[in-house]
Amino acid sequence: MSIVGRVWKFGDGVCGDDGIIQFSRINDLGSYDEPALKAMCFELVNPDFPKQVVAGDLVVAGHTFAHHSHPHVCVALKASGIAAVVVESCDSGFVRKALNIGLPVVTCPGVTGLVQPFETLEVDLEKGEVRHPASGANLPVRPFSERMLGIVAAGGLIPFLKLQYSARAT
Amino acid sequence: MGHSIAQKIIARAAGRERVGVGEYVNVSPDYTCCQEIYWPIHKRHMQQIGVSRIARPEKVVMVVDHTTTAAMGSPYHRIHRELRDFARQSGLENFFGPGTGLRHLVLTERGFARPGMLVFSDEPNIASIGALGALNVPVSWEVVATLIGDENWVAVPKSARIELKGAFPFGVLVRDLAQVINRDHGNTDRLLQTCVEYAGAISSLSLDDRQSLLACAFHAGADTSVMQVDETALDYVSQRAAGRPYFVFEADPDAQYSFRATYDLQALSPMVTVPPGMNTVVGVEELRGTRVDQATIGSCASNRLDDLRAAAAILKGRRISRHVTMYISPGSREVYAAAAREGLLEIFIDAGATVLAPGCNTCWGYLGVLNDNQVSISTHQFNFQGRNGSRSARVNLAGPYVVAASAVAGSIVDPRPLLAERAESP
């Protein structure tokens, strides 16, 4: 499973709840207002992002990316059309929350030194490789498990579980 | 190669002899723990999957803790009712309504958190249960997977080890230690994707303090956290376990740690975490004189009986400043009742503070919302802009001594002179 896209690049320490989104503008934590989340996505860090991001773009970011994230952070990225996130580092909770809505996040030390804004990057989840066509460089990342690949392929945990449960019922 | 406590707990939950760091394994948890805020999301997901049944009702611990009182215009009065109905229909015996307390405390007080237990929960701060040797795996709304299926995957985390030595000096609390650990590691990769094992002079800390320390590990980047259980912890568990089993695991002497650090408790002093990040942590004297509008005691890192005792030690016989609003949120009904029996509530009321029902309350901005440019001093867990209301408000984080002393002074102060006065004239 390979994902190719144009890169939006961010630095270190981008907070999820007050960086990628703005927690103070979330009125109801029990629902997702996708248009509002898309409109605020990265507005605090790069105001061009919500205006110019297109479906299939990738996010490359530095260390401790998306620390302090409610699930709405991942929904904002997904609603913006982001196809994958490649970071120097992040916590496991962010990886799971993103995976569960079908957004793969990979930890790839060295990626920010390799890729420039708006270059193309390729992420191979199955093989565990991030490829940078401009330089020809390949960086190893931890391959996704079969289950994680299944969740990405299904478009998220809920459609994945739906497939599993409906298969059991028949 | 030896194994960490986290590896041993995960191996047990996976029905395996051993598991390797980095391995993806399927586990059956001992409990799944969740709260009311995400209930509309869980309900929608269950409808989308086409499943309405809870797989193992006896393994579910469901707690209304974020919204102890449903405010007018909020969706929570409906959610409280729906959850109650759902719990009854699903045979969830471990449903706890508003005012019972935070999940963190409900898990320990009611004997769910026992050594060796693996808990999937919707929050990383529930790592506090590691004080009793249980392992929290935070998965946010993904708890739905084990609600309906009783199994889910984990990636076996690396373990890091933080050794404590000595004891706290006069006027220093566990929050000062936790905030220093966040300062030292929170903006680095050192504790990311790890389980932090605390070791060393743990027995010098009360069980309340141990839970507070572990509840903060997430802000230093850790996925979760755990401690070796000692006699104090095992005594507590044996009183609460009600015959349910538990499994004491120790880290092997040759267990592998991705990172090690040692903290000398004696060397610490009262600290304040300055907004909007967790990494700017300074001695309280650096902020001396910073006027505060609000002071709050509460959050899963500072809402236990020892925290209320610390606040009361300052507030007894004193009044908070006229321009300060002070809210105190006990962590559970048990803590609330104990505080009443000890006379702590009377001290708070006489001081001019408002005691709220047990719950998360002010920490996530549901109550005590801050206006533009207001400043608070708080034992909360978070201080990013907009967490407690306006983005221009500033939330300073500290232990209950500093918070209570600052409420009295009307500005941030070192609590030690007030405590010393007390010590001289009991």
Q: What is the ipTM of this complex?
A: 0.96
- Report yes or no: A46 at the B interface, CB cutoff 8 Å: no
Q: How far is CA B45 from CA A72, A161, B419, in A?
A: 15, 10, 52
Q: Which residue of A has its CA nearest to B365?
A: A24
Look at the block and give the residue holding tokens 């006990």. Answer: B330
Residue whose C-alpha is closest to residue B315's, from B412, B400, B424: B400
How many CB atoms neighbour CB A81 within 10 A? 14
Question: What per-residue confidence (pLDDT) applies to B72?
Answer: 84
Looking at chain B, the domain(s) classified CATH 3.30.499.10 span 5-263, 275-424
Q: What are phi and psi of B288, to 5 degrees?
A: -50, 130
CA gap B95, B78 in Å, rounded = 16
User: CATH number of the domain at B275-424, please?
Assistant: 3.30.499.10
Closest-CA residue to B257 (of B11, B4, B10):
B4
| Beta-carbon separation of A71 and B141 below 8 A | yes
Q: What is the pTM of this model?
A: 0.97
Q: Classify domain B5-263 at the CATH superfamily level.
A: Aconitase, domain 3 (3.30.499.10)
Q: What share of chain A is helix, strand, coil (3-state, %, to 5)?
A: 35, 20, 45
**Structure tokens, A124:** 């191979």
CA distance A134 to chain B (A): 28
Helix orientation angle between B344-351 and B333-341, rounded to the nearest 10 degrees: 80
Residues B34, B142: contact at Cβ < 8 Å?
Answer: no
Q: What pLDDT sits at residue B73?
A: 84
What's CA B167's distance to the chain center, in Å? 22
Residue owning tokens 């996704």 = A144
- Check if A28 contacts B (Cβ < 8 Å): yes
Please check the confidence at residue A99 and state whether its pLDDT lies above 70.
yes
A170 interfacial to chain B (CB closer than 8 Å): no
Q: Is B114 exposed, middle or buried (0-12, 13-18, 19+ CB in 10 A)?
A: buried
Size of interface A-B (CB pairs under 8 A): 119
Best of A15, A23, A34, A95 to disrupt the B interface (most B CBs within 10 Å) is A23
> Residue A170: pLDDT above 70?
no
User: Is residue B368 a contact partner of residue B294, using CB atoms and an 8 Å limit?
Assistant: yes
CA B343: distance to chain centroid? 24
Q: How far is CA A12 from CA A109, A117, B138, B165, B408, in A?
A: 12, 15, 23, 33, 39
Contact A63 B389 (CB under 8 A): no
* Six-digit token string for B63: 């707690």
Q: Which of B423, B404, B422, B424 is nearest to B414 (CA)?
A: B404
> Testing the interface with B: which of A68, A73, A152, A166 to mutate, by most B Cβ within 10 A?
A68
Does A90 reach chain B within 8 Å, measured CB to CB? yes
Q: Tokens 């990057």 identify what position?
A: A121
Nearest to B366 by CA among B75, B95, B41, B100: B75
A68 interface with B at CB cutoff 8 Å: yes
What is the pLDDT at residue A1? 75
CB B177 within 8 A of CB B263: yes
Give me the pLDDT at residue B425, please: 65
Beta-strand ranges (E) seen in B148-248 are 152-155, 158-165, 194-200, 224-227
The answer to whether B66 and B35 have CB atoms below 8 angstroms apart is: yes
Mean pLDDT of A57-76: 98
Q: How far is B314 from chain A (nearest CA, A)?
A: 32
Asked if A18 and B188 come within 8 Å (Cβ–Cβ), the reply is no
CA angle A31, A35, A41 (to 5 degrees): 95
Token pair of B249 as six digits: 């695991």
Q: Which domain holds residue A152?
A: 2-169
| Contact yes or no for B387/B367 (Cβ under 8 A) | no
Q: Which residues of A touch B187 (CB under 8 A)?
A: 12-13, 63-64
> What's the structural domain count of chain A?
1
Token output for B56: 């193992």
Domain of A135, CATH number, reads 3.20.19.10
- CA of residue A136 relative to chain centroid, distance: 23
Residues 136-155 of A with CB under 8 A from B: 142, 145, 147-148
Give the orientation angle of helix B416-424 with respect to helix B305-315, to 10 degrees.
70
Structure token digits, residue B399: 């232990």
Rounded CA-CA distance B225/B216 in Å is: 9
Q: Find tokens 């330089």 and name the residue.
A: A135
Contact B288, B398 (CB under 8 A): no
Contact B387 A12 (CB under 8 A): no
How many other C-beta atoms can be found within 10 angstroms of the C-beta atom of residue B52? 12
Q: What is the pLDDT of residue B195?
A: 98
Residue A153: how many CA atoms within 13 Å on its side-chain side?
A: 12
Cis geometry, peptide bond prior to residue A50 (ω within 30 degrees of 0)? no
Give chain A positions within 8 Å (CB) of B49: 158, 161-162, 165
CA distances from B375 to A42, B238, B393, B416 (A): 26, 43, 6, 22
Backbone angles phi, psi at B314, to 5 degrees: -85, -45
Taking chain B (426 residues) in runs of 10, the rounded mean pLDDT of each run is 96 98 97 96 97 97 95 89 96 97 98 98 98 98 97 98 98 98 96 97 97 97 97 98 97 97 98 95 98 98 98 98 98 98 98 97 94 98 94 97 98 97 72
Q: What is the pLDDT of residues A28-45, one digit of tens each?
A: 899 999 999 999 999 999
pLDDT, residue B423, reads 73
More confident residue, A167 or B409: B409
**Per this entry, what is the length of chain A?**
170
Q: Which of B48, B153, B385 sits opposite A18 (nearest CB)?
A: B385
> What is the average per-residue pLDDT within A73-97?
98
